[in-house]
Amino acid sequence: MNKKLLVQITLLVIILSTISTSYVIFFQKPSIKDKEISNDNTQNQKKNDNQINDLKYFSRDEKGNSYLLNAKTGYPDEENNYIINLKSVDAKITFDENNQIIVTSDKAVYNNSTYDTEFLGNVIINYNEHKLTTNKMNALISKNIAILSGNVVYNNSLTKLYADKIEYDLIERKSKISMFDKNKKVKVTHTNNNGIN
């Protein structure tokens, strides 16, 4: 493996470890103090039978870190009371004195018991100058794993990475980057802004 690729993968691991740390901070059940689901307009305003508009989920741990999940609409799953199906989703994770990770997606499936969240469709993850896009992200908090799959693109001012799947262990802070087709390779490109390769 050449040095440039090794440096770029190391940068990706650092970024993903920051994301994983925030997930571990916010989603471990013992550390969560506040949990609320509210409707901005009126408490029980429903568009259709079970649809709720302007749904919010908020939690804060004892260290002051917070997680805010917003959805334009949501409705409970008919077969599982813990599952909430959301549309037009954005999540904001605030940690370490105002550092923020922003996640947006077309839809999400949220488990209000385990805090596992599956973000679906046009998933965008922003942290400072780092940006990840993918078709789907499973934040499996109950298993301490985050899985990004389908057209994964990582981008910052120096590096662009293309893959089909990234599995990230939130505790060990290790990632596995792969392609669905074993004959294809993960593609990494480097932007040469300052003459350094």
Tens-place pLDDT, residues 122-175: 999 998 888 999 999 998 877 878 899 999 998 988 889 999 999 987 667 788
Give the number of other CB atoms < 10 A from CB of residue 192. 9
Range of weakest confidence among 12-21, 25-34, 80-89: 25-34
User: Does residue 177 fall inside a structural domain?
Assistant: yes
Q: What is the pLDDT of residue 31?
A: 43
The whole-model pTM stands at: 0.70
**Which ranges of the chain does DSSP label H, i.e. alpha helix?**
3-27
Burial (CB count within 10 angstroms: exposed 0-12, middle 13-18, buried 19+), residue 19: buried
- Number of folded domains in the chain? 1
Could you tell me the residue range of the domain that residue 62 belongs to?
Answer: 3-190
96 is a domain residue: yes
CATH number at residue 147: 2.60.450.10
**Residue 141 domain-assigned?**
yes
Residue 197 inside a domain? The answer is no
Q: Do residues 169 and 145 make contact, with C-beta atoms less than 8 angstroms apart?
A: yes
Residue 118 has pLDDT above 90, yes or no: yes
Q: What is the pLDDT of residues 59-109, one digit of tens each?
A: 776 767 677 889 999 999 989 989 999 999 998 877 666 678 789 999 999
Run of H or E including 119: strand 117-127
